[in-house]
A and B are shown apart, each in its own frame.
Chain A
Amino acid sequence: MAQIFHHSTNVLSRLSIYGGVFIVALLGAALYEIELSPWYTDVHVSREQPVPFSHKHHAGELGIDCRYCHTSVEKSSFAGVPPTQTCMTCHSQIWTNSAMLEPVRASYRDDKSISWTRVNALPDFVYFDHSIHVSKGIGCTTCHGQIAEMPLTYRAGTLYMSWCLDCHRQPEKYVRPKSQVFNPNYQVPDNQEQLGRELVKEYKIQSLQNCSVCHR
């Protein structure tokens, strides 16, 4: 039988076989990168909101406590986004002519909810509870980042399972004194390791890794 392919094509075939390995590896790496990229995770990507609400203004410069607006965060699983009445406790008197605030006034007038776009969201098959974290000394900024410096709110962590487990495996790396949980300007001290271990003991923090803790 006459040869169909020239001898040199052997090199090509080998190259493509070995090259394939690299291509697969490269694809894997690319997928991994994409999975962790802001494009996929929404980390550091701020969302369009009906009112350009700024935590930098309200929580940072004015120093309003998180609980003034996110009232249920200590008692229930969800932190909640404030109802219009909360905005109006102040904006019925100040910045009453601001065009930016027109949706807030309209919502109060017509008794219609403002529909905020969610920034942090877990899939429905994950159970999450704010109150336990807050009452065991995990600060808002540990999970939500430097919120008091955000002109528009963005997500600070991937919220992947590995993100949760990183802390559930070693809570001593993140826990802070309970009095500091709501402090948006808290700085992690140099002796975090030692302090963390003491607090874990004092607050009786468990390392919860059982699947059914979060998937119930």
Chain B
Amino acid sequence: MMRFILRRTLQMIPTMLAVILIIFVIFSVVPGSFITSLMSEGRNATNAQVLSHLNEQFGLDQPLPVRLWNYLSGLAHFDLGISYRTREPVWNVIEPRLWPSIKLALCAMGFAAFVGIPLGFLAALKPGSVFDSGTMVVAVSGLSLPEFWFGLLLMYVFALNLGWLPSFGYQPGSIRHIILPAIALGVGPMALLARTTRAGVLDVMNADFVRTARAKGLAEPRLVRSHVARNVLVLILTTMGLQIGALMGQAIVIEKLFSWPGIGSLLVDSVAVRDIPVVQGAVLVIVLWFLVINMLVDIAYALIDPRIKVS
């Protein structure tokens, strides 16, 4: 198992390199730079001397391949560079944002799983029923609603009208603050999970081994527990993994809306001022999260499904 994990970790390296390369190229061709954005903020940076001094200080006077090489060799020492804006190491800017982001992603996924999976299960056990159709209508709406709009709606109802929950902000241990953003972020994955669970259950219920289980005389609850649930879990694990992995990236809008101090809002703020090292760092974190989650999903697979060889 350790070798399996090691191998999957090593496999992440080429992906990361490709991502770094793409980000690097993209941000070297986008118009605007930190310096021009400084100027647009009205600071006195028009002076050519100041400009070249800044360029020199951040190594921007060097050709792209050299900059890329410097960046990569910095990464090898876990050095993400220096933020243009705060002049701090990028890691120091990102690090306090990590936990709020992870917490939000996990809570959103928790909501999605605890609501979506049972809904899908119940819908599948009585296919064609009112409950089934109702659930699927909700699921489709959940998938098609813009999360931004849904977030606003939640804010309006539960924060402004009812006053039950705070409408924005973050407090380190506060559960009340995370509820609305987590639901707003989790509603899409919840809908998707409900649908995939329903499809998965229907699929497994039609499997030959479920017919065998019926022929053995198993009562329905036991049949679902010991011959359907785990098999469905295997089917929906991929969906869940992809969803949690993507959540940190998807959280950008919601984090901004709820003033949540996560990676997503950091990314938005940094793009606005062309703080490229921080943008790169934030994107790297989002990608790394995705890859790590996928690795965890693979490990979970190996643990649940005996047909998957670990060697």
Is the A/B pair a real complex? no
* Chain A positions near chain B (C-beta within 8 angstroms): none
